[in-house]
């Protein structure tokens, strides 16, 4: 069976590899454990130039991540896309401890099953010093996992953080607001997290948001007090784009936000 699968996978790699060898797109290719084992046997030469590896919408588990991390033929890999798989905390721990993580500048783990322990593994790792963009959307991090990321000391290059639908609620938003990590963040995505006034006020009063360019707070539970705090905030000095639709802010306060000094500075304000 493996002998039959090998030429099929080799053919798939050839078809999915860009002409310059820098991008290998294996999204939605039914990649699972056996295919990853064969990929590991493909040899250093086949993957030596790959900088972007797309493995989204497949059947990759924690065991599959272990095989992926054992690949020796990816010395140039910078961007790794693993969204919409079946990766849990153990897989993230494996990745966070592997040499593969050392060169990554972009990591997408959206829509897996990464919980607080996985977030803690990322936060505690010394391997992600080059990582600038991190997607953890649609994972059950909760406030605990968000707090772990907020307390990370090894994410020195991080500038873009995607945490939509991670169940952080107010406690997670408050942890982020208090974090020096945000001093380096230019794009922060916090949609669909049941963030209310407490979290919104904490963000509006944070001393760590001067470099923020994009803030997305869509589909939360922010009411008038949170809306007013954002309108009156002096924390968003560099903000250019603010997304606030589908909250619970009444029309008079929405009018205050649109007429605020903050709104006049923005290039984009999206709000009901």
Alpha helices in the chain (DSSP H): 2-16, 33-40, 44-47, 62-69, 89-96, 116-124, 142-150, 169-177, 197-204, 224-232, 251-258, 261-265
Lowest mean pLDDT among 24-28, 39-43, 86-90, 127-131: 39-43
Q: Specify the length of the chain in residues.
A: 272
**Dihedral sign computed on CA atoms, order 185, 77, 69, 102:** negative
Residue 214 token pair: 């994009």
What's the whole-number mean pLDDT along residues 168-194?
A: 97
Q: pLDDT digit string (tens) for 252-266?
A: 999 999 999 999 999
SS3 for 159?
coil
C-alpha to C-alpha distance for 15 and 9, rounded to whole angstroms: 10
| Cβ count near 237 (within 10 Å) | 12
**Dihedral sign computed on CA atoms, order 55, 59, 62, 65:** negative
Q: Is 31 in contact with 60 (CB distance < 8 Å)?
A: yes
pLDDT class of 15 with cuts at 50, 70, 90: confident
Alpha helices in 97-223 (DSSP H): 116-124, 142-150, 169-177, 197-204
pTM: 0.95
How distant, in Å, are the alpha carbons of 36, 136, 255, 261, 262 from that of 30? Answer: 11, 22, 49, 51, 47
What's the whole-number mean pLDDT along residues 53-78?
A: 94
Q: Is 127 in contact with 102 (CB distance < 8 Å)?
A: yes
CA contacts within 13 A on the Cβ side of 115: 4
pLDDT class of 1 with cuts at 50, 70, 90: very low
| Cβ count near 107 (within 10 Å) | 23
C-alpha to C-alpha distance for 262 and 260, rounded to whole angstroms: 5
Q: Is 174 in contact with 202 (CB distance < 8 Å)?
A: yes
DSSP string, 217-235: --SS---HHHHHHHHH-SS
Q: Is 81 in contact with 109 (CB distance < 8 Å)?
A: no
* CATH code of the domain containing 54: 3.80.10.10
What's the whole-number mean pLDDT along residues 80-86?
A: 98
Residue 25 token pair: 């797109």
Closest CA to 150 of 121, 118, 182: 182
Q: What's the number of domains the chain is made of?
A: 1
Instruction: Give residues with Cβ within 8 angstroms of 15, minimum separation 6.
Output: none
Can you give the pLDDT at residue 43? 59
Can you give the pLDDT at residue 6? 55
Q: What is the biggest distance separating any 2 CA atoms in the chain, rounded to whole angstroms?
A: 68
Closest CA to 119 of 68, 128, 189: 128
Domain with 242, as residue range(s), is: 2-270
Question: What's the chain's average pLDDT?
Answer: 94
Q: pLDDT digit string (tens) for 68-80?
A: 998 877 899 999 9
187 bridge partner residues: 160, 214
């Amino acid at each position: 069976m493996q002998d039959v699968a090998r030429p099929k996978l080799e053919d798939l790699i050839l078809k999915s590899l860009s002409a310059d060898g820098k991008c290998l797109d294996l999204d939605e290719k039914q990649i699972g454990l056996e295919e990853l084992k064969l990929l590991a046997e493909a040899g250093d030469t086949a993957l030596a130039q790959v900088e972007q590896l797309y493995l989204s919408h497949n059947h990759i588990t924690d065991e599959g991540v272990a095989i992926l991390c054992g690949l020796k033929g990816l010395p140039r890999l910078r961007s790794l896309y693993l969204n919409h798989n079946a990766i849990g905390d153990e897989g993230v721990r494996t990745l966070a401890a592997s040499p593969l993580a050392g060169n990554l500048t972009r990591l997408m783990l959206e829509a897996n099953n990464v919980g607080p322990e996985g977030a803690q593994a990322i936060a505690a790792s010394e391997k992600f010093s080059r990582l600038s963009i991190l997607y953890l959307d649609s994972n059950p991090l909760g406030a605990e996992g968000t707090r772990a990321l907020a307390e990370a000391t090894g994410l020195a290059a991080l500038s873009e953080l995607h945490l939509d639908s991670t169940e952080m609620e107010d406690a997670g938003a408050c942890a982020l607001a208090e974090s020096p990590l945000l001093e380096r963040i230019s794009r922060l995505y916090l949609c669909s997290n049941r963030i209310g006034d407490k979290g919104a006020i904490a963000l509006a009063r944070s001393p760590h948001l001067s470099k923020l360019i994009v803030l997305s707070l869509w589909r939360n539970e922010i009411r008038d007090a949170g809306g007013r705090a954002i309108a009156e905030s002096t924390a968003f000095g560099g903000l250019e784009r603010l997304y606030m639709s589908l909250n619970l802010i009444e029309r008079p306060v929405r009018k205050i936000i649109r007429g605020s000094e903050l709104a006049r500075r923005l290039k984009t304000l999206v709000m009901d």
